[in-house]
Amino acid sequence: MSANPLAPPRLRFPADASALTARIWPASATRTDDGELAIGGITASDLVARFGSPLYVVDERDVQARAARVRTAFTEAFARIGTRAHVYYAAKAFLTTQVAAWMTEAGLRLDVCTAGELAVALAGGADPALLGFHGNDKSDAEIARAVEVGLGTIVLDSHEEIGRVARAAADAGTVQRVRIRINSGVHASTHEYLATAREDQKFGIPLSEAVDAAAAVRAEPSLAFVGLHSHIGSQIFDESGFREAARRLMDVHAELVASGPVPELNLGGGWGIDYTEADEAFAPEDVAEALATIVAEACTERGIPVPEIAVEPGRYIVGPAGATLYRVGTIKPVTLETDDGSSATRTYVSVDGGMSDNARPALYGADYTARLARASDAPAVLTRVVGKHCESGDIVVNDEYLPGDVRRGDLLAVAATGAYCWSLASNYNHVGRPPVVAVADGTARILVRGESIDDLLARDTGVVAG
C-alpha cells in the first residue's frame, strides 16, 4: 500500500496504523499483550463498558506531572536571574473541582474568566488570593464577587474596567490588586480565532495607551497596580512571537518603573502541543529559559530591577493527558476524482459523538490523531472520522490512516483531547455531554458525570410531569 493522493502533505503513510506516538498520547497510554489500548492501566473496552461512550479519559498522573514540570522549569529558570516565577493554570482549558485541587497540590495558581469558573475553583479548594480573573466583559456582579472573596488579581481588559473595579473595591472597603492586559500587536502564527494580540480584536488595551491606563489605575486609592499582562494567542509553535511580545512589554514596563513600582510582569501562555506527528511542541524548559534570558537582558539594558514573572499555561498541562473514546458506527467509502484525473477513495468512519464533544475541528480546522482501540495489521486506508450531528462540518479527525478492517462496533480513540473539548462541549441535536473519567494506577473515577436524556428534559419548562 502507498499514500493516498487525497491525503494532505503533513500526513505520512504509516508503517503501523496501530502505533502510538508517545508525545501525542497520554503518558500511560499503551497496548496490552493482545493489542488493546489501555490508559492508566485500564483497557478502552473496560472503560466503555463501565462508563459508556463517548467518554473523555484523563490520565491523572500525566496532568500532575506536567503541572509540576512547568512549575519546576519556570521556578529554576527565573531563580537563575534573581527573581520568582508564578505559574497560573489557565482554567478555561479544562476545569473541574478535582482539576483545581490537582493544580493547587502541584503549587500552581489558577486563572479564571467567569463567575462559573471562579465558583468551581473555589469549590475545588483553591486559595482565592492565588487566583487571577480575566475577561473582556466582566459583569458588575462578577467583579463584586471577585473582590468579595479576596481574589488575588483582576486583569483589566479595558479603560472602562478601571473605574468599575475601583468602585467595587471601594464599596467593599478594600484595595484590589490589578494587572492591565496589553494588546502588544504581535501577530502570532496560529489560527485567526486563536490570535489574541492582533490590533483588530476584542482583547486588551493598545500598547500605545498602556502608560495612560497605568496612571489611571494608580490614581485610584482602591486599586494597587501590579503590572502588565500579555497573551498573544494559543497553539503557537514559533517562539519569535513570544520573544517579540516580551520585548515590547519590557519597553513599557521600564517606562512605568520610572514613575512607580511595577512588581510583576505576566507573559501569558499559548504554547502549542502535539496533536499530530507533524507538530513540534516546545519543551517547557526551553520556553522558560528563553523568556528568562529575554527578561534579564531587557532589564540589564534598561537598568531596572528584574520583576517577578507570571505565565499562564493551560493546554500544555491537560491537552496531551486526555483522550476521547468513541464507538464506530456507519462506514462509508467515497470514491473521488483526483487532480490528475485518476480516482481515490476516502473512507468516512462515523462515531457516536462529534462536534458536540469536540468543537475544535469545526471552529479552527484543528487536526487530531486517531487509533482503533484494538490492534490490527490490516493495510491502512485514508479515513475521515465524522460525528453523528446534522452538519457536514461535523468532523472529528479530518484526515487519518486507520486499518482497513475498521468496522461497526469498534472502539476508536482520539488523542490529545484534554484541553478545550469538554470546555466547549454542547448539547447540539440534544445530545448529552459525555462523562469525564480520571484514570490512574488501574483505577477509574468520574470527575464529571455524563448527561442523560432526563437531564436534557429537566430544564425544559414545557415538559408535563407524568
Which pLDDT value is given to residue 341?
82
Cα→Cα distances 146→10, 93, 128, 143, Å: 45, 20, 8, 5
Amino acid found at 381: V
CB contact set of 33 (below 8 Å; sequence gap of 6+): none
Three-class secondary structure of residue 291 per DSSP: helix
Judge whether 257 and 275 are in contact, CB under 8 Å.
no
Judge whether 143 and 165 are in contact, CB under 8 Å.
yes
Please give the Cα distance from 224 to 242 (Å, whole number).
27
Three-class secondary structure of residue 121 per DSSP: helix
For residue 271, the 8-state DSSP code is B
CB contact set of 237 (below 8 Å; sequence gap of 6+): 189, 272, 279, 280, 281, 282
Give the CA angle between residues 396, 135, 77 to the nearest 5°: 85
Burial 122-149 (b: 16+ CB within 10 A, else e): bebebebebbbbbbeebeeebbbbbbeb
Residue 422: closest CA among 327, 340, 356: 356
Which pLDDT value is given to residue 194?
36
List, by residue number, the catalytic residues.
390
Judge whether 175 and 153 are in contact, CB under 8 Å.
no
DSSP for 41-105, please give it. Answer: TEEHHHHHHHH-SSEEEEEHHHHHHHHHHHHHHHHHHHHTTT--EEEEEEGGGS--HHHHHHHHH
Give the max Cα distance, the chain: 75
Consecutive sets of 10 residues in the chain, 466 residues long: mean pLDDT of each? 88 95 97 98 98 98 98 97 97 98 98 97 98 95 98 96 98 98 66 44 82 96 95 72 79 89 89 92 90 90 92 95 98 91 94 98 94 96 97 96 98 98 97 98 98 94 78
Q: Report helix angle 159-171 to 140-148, nearest 10.
A: 50
**Cα 405 from chain centroid?**
34
Length of the chain equals 466
Which pLDDT value is given to residue 199?
53
Tell me, yes or no, if the pTM score tops 0.75. Answer: yes
CB contact set of 132 (below 8 Å; sequence gap of 6+): 88, 109, 110, 111, 112, 151, 152, 153, 154, 155, 179, 266, 310, 312
Structure-block grid coordinates of residue 276: 499530530
Q: How many CB atoms lie within 10 A of CB 340?
A: 8
Three-class secondary structure of residue 278 per DSSP: coil
Amino acid found at 82: G
Judge whether 252 and 205 are in contact, CB under 8 Å.
no
Judge whether 202 and 136 are in contact, CB under 8 Å.
yes
Please give the Cα distance from 43 to 45 (Å, whole number).
5
Which pLDDT value is given to residue 244?
79
For CA atoms 81, 318, 94, 128, the dihedral sign is negative
